[in-house]
Chains A and B, each alone.
Chain A
Amino acid sequence: MTIPLASAISPAADAVREVILEAFGGTIPLRVSGRGHWIDAGRPVPAKKILSLAPHSGVVDYVPGDLTITVRGGTTLREIEQIVGHERQWFPLDPYGSDDGTIGATVATGSFGPLAHGFGRARDLVLGLEFVTGDGRVVRGGGRVVKNVAGFDLVRLITGSWGTIGIVTEVTIRLYSLPPHPLTLALKVPDAPSALAQRIKSLLSAPINPLAVELLDAEVAGLVGLPCRPAILVELGGNEAAVNSQKDVIAALGGASEVFPEVWRRLRVLDDLAAGPATYPHPEPNIVLRISSLPGRVADIWNMVKKVLEPLPSARVHSSVGLGIVRCILPPSSGFETVHTLVESCPGATVVCERMPRELWPLISPSVVADKISQGIKRTFDPQGILNPCILGS
């Protein structure tokens, strides 16, 4: 008789379970960590112990022809990129931060970057996972195949739950073949704020299928190596004919030029570059928050944000326009007034904070586990409240 894959308990889960059961018995709050690169993200966690997934890395299963890979939770994005790159494949999820972050943390935080425009977010790319609950149960959801509706969807539940209901020990993700003809274009952005909306609209409604569309302010453009003026980056991929044809469509909109693809990698590490006068050895983390709404509102929100941030020349703003997200990176010293004004200036939009000084959290972003169902889920999977307590709110 074969032992079904889904019934097996990985060594990582076994080790994590040991720690949890110890913590569970003594109700020791745990800060769950991948490699610790994003440890300053999210609300402050009053944890006594760090549970690191770093020792649990590596490939569990990879058959290139299936375009899926199963890896342990502590595997870094860089390792995945290298392994699947040998087969001319990629995992098209480009969360902000370095490639030294782990897949477990990426999934747990539901992180994504500009490529979400073309490929979806973490929740769209994770096929299956193994996790350990707050009371030490090893659970699997989903599977290793690309389409699967068996059982209730624990994969979506865990993805983006910030390690508060389960610790991700193994992940199966969907891969794609590397686009044979990648091309990145930069489009000029009109100087008049009122013309921005039309520029975005004409781009999004054009007969093209970009992999990513990202609006950069002058500060960000300069930091990624482009001339210091606002620009819209468009990444294309596909066969040569498809890419060239789309390039022609974009060229017809005016003001487009080809740029080096390295801009995308530089964009991802902006958060870690000090905003404002750099201090040494390690600056305080910048304040990072995302303001999201309908794509049709992006230009308005962008203009409002830029106006609020005018007194802060070192603030950086960029936007995944097709996703309706405007992302702001502010110096750590910006203070409550600036952040509060920023949030208040975008009524009806959803504000997701990534990093903020400890004291700002309760003022800017109260608990997001506020409804009865979310609270019931937390109680069910972490009855003693030991997993990343307070990271999503109390």
Chain B
Amino acid sequence: MSNVALAEKLAVIVGDRFVLQRDGDLLVYNSDGLPGYRRKPRLAVFPGSREETVAVVRALADAGAAFVPRGAGTGLSGGALADDVVLLGLHRLKRVMSIDQENLRAVVEPGVVNLVLNKTIAPLGLLYAPDPSSEAACTIGGNLAENAGGPHCLKYGVTLNHILAITALLPNGEIMSLGNPEGEIDGYDLRGAFIGSEGCFGVALDATVRLTKKPVAVRTMLADFTSVDSAAHVTSAIIASGIIPAALEFMDEATIKVVESSVYAAGYPSDAAAVLLIEVDGNEAGVSADRDAIEKICLDGGARAVKVARTEAERGRLWQGRKKAFGAMGRMAPHLVVQDAVIPRTKLAPVLRRIAEIAAANRVTVCNVFHAGDGNLHPNIPYNADDPDESERVHRSMGEIMHACVDAGGSITGEHGVGLDKIGYIDLIFSAESLRAMCRLREVFDPDHRSNPGKVVPIHACQEWRATPAGRKSPASELVAVSAESQGV
């Protein structure tokens, strides 16, 4: 079907205003949170209701057209980029459909912004725990697709642990309930399989999320160090002590400097080699004891000082610097790459040393700001993507850092997703057989690879699943391998 004909068909469903096809209109959708990647959608469509979304996806299925679901486009893996396929924006589906205070759950549409949900439930003394740094803009649908994390996931778990059920719209237009909003899951955990599938298994029309009682007391501390090694060792020591902080965040000197010179200045000590932002929560007596224990571990481990936020405003300021650090890096250069590898927590110090060596050898600036308690690194490199020499050095550095993390026993992504950005690294941690298994799982949900084609698992991995295991001929080996044409792209 031609672009014009498809656009007309979709406009009948959503109205002319909500179908974009001119290059100028689509420009803003050419990137997500990683502006170094650009892909132009063939058109963009923005349904305004659940019914319109179902009608749009069915129309796309009828037309055999591939599409990329997108929330707020804040993702950091190029996962929401539509490369000459339809971009399906879901940010208009933003109803909080119900809140059940007694049973600690809410039903929300995918376009509900994470922070909006939290502001809605805050007066009830409740919170929705996963808190990505982009919480002010990112949507629950996007969080669900990426299995998003955030600083407080150290104690409370990631999105997966907070989604009880999903009403899913499969790529063929069928609606299916995954999980059980009111009881146990009996049978395969399709909810679990769908969460974090990066939009490759379909679209969430709504999600039943688990709410958490707001802790009675919170203590937020900033420990500053004159050496990165000390901060890394203290991180491991806090985790090993048995205390589970609500959050344990690391910022290095380069990050501190850029934050402190921005409008998000948080009062971090500019001469520190690293700071740890540590939060504990619970009841008043418990957090006081945890604070004392953590303060001692920090000071014993070489911290110059441990500052405790005395007011909610002070706490907010300390967090602002951390949460807006990505934004502050926009002052350094027009583009930014960030990685998201996770390493075992005992390997923090050696891996951070290795990252510093890689940065020096490639003459790039790495700003480390990350979830230290989980071992979830975020090395950021601000750069100018229009400078080919610098781009080459930056991407080489990123590759070397990724290898260092995998060599340390880590994973290539902890919360940002594979998307487009890390698809070249996924075979560092999964065998061809494992990737084929993932591909086959995807094909159960989306046999034609029409939902977010070309992401997460490289296409070549999908072609040999039906080949023989251990030389034995499988009865299904006659099945046609997925070709580029059958993807509908």
Contact = CB atoms under 8 A, between A and B. Distances in A.
A144 B342 CA distance: 10
A198 to B, nearest CB: 12
Interface stretch (A252-260, A270-278, A289-297, A305-313): A289-297
Given A133-B437, A157-B193, A68 B344 contact: yes
A2 B405 CA distance: 12
Given A350-B184, A380-B441, A156 B242 contact: no
A21 B470 contact: yes
B410 A207 contact: no
Nearest to A146: B374
A377 B188 contact: yes
A43 B180 CA distance: 22
B314 interface: no
A137 B437 contact: yes
Interface string B420-458: 001000101111011111101111110000000000110
B186 A373 contact: no
A178 B242 contact: yes
B236 interface: yes
B131 interface: no
Interface string B153-165: 1000110110000
A147 B476 contact: no
Interface centre among B100, B147, B429, B437 (most CB of A within 10 A): B437
Interface residues of A, number: 92
A7 B160 CA distance: 25
Interface string B26-59: 0000000000000000000000000000000000
B242 A154 contact: no
Interface stretch (A32-40, A222-230, A233-241): A233-241
Contacts of A65: 236, 239-240, 345-346
A58 interface: no
Contacts of B187: 368-370, 374, 392
A160 B185 contact: yes
Contact of B282 (A7, A17, A238): A238
Contacts of B300: none
Interface in B171-214: 176, 180, 182-193, 195-197, 200-201, 213
B437 A154 contact: yes
Contact of B418 (A5, A150, A348, A371): A150
Interface in A66-80: 66-68
A296 B102 contact: yes
B182 A136 contact: no
Contact of A159 (B192, B201, B418): B192
Given A143-B411, A159-B189, A138 B433 contact: yes
Contacts of A153: 147, 160, 192-193, 195-197
A63 B344 contact: yes
Interface stretch (A186-194, A211-219, A242-250, A330-338): A242-250
Contact of B189 (A68, A123, A133, A145): A123
B417 interface: yes
B472 A242 contact: no
A371 B178 CA distance: 10
Which 3 pairs between the two chains have the least Cβ-Cβ distance? A242-B286, A156-B192, A177-B242
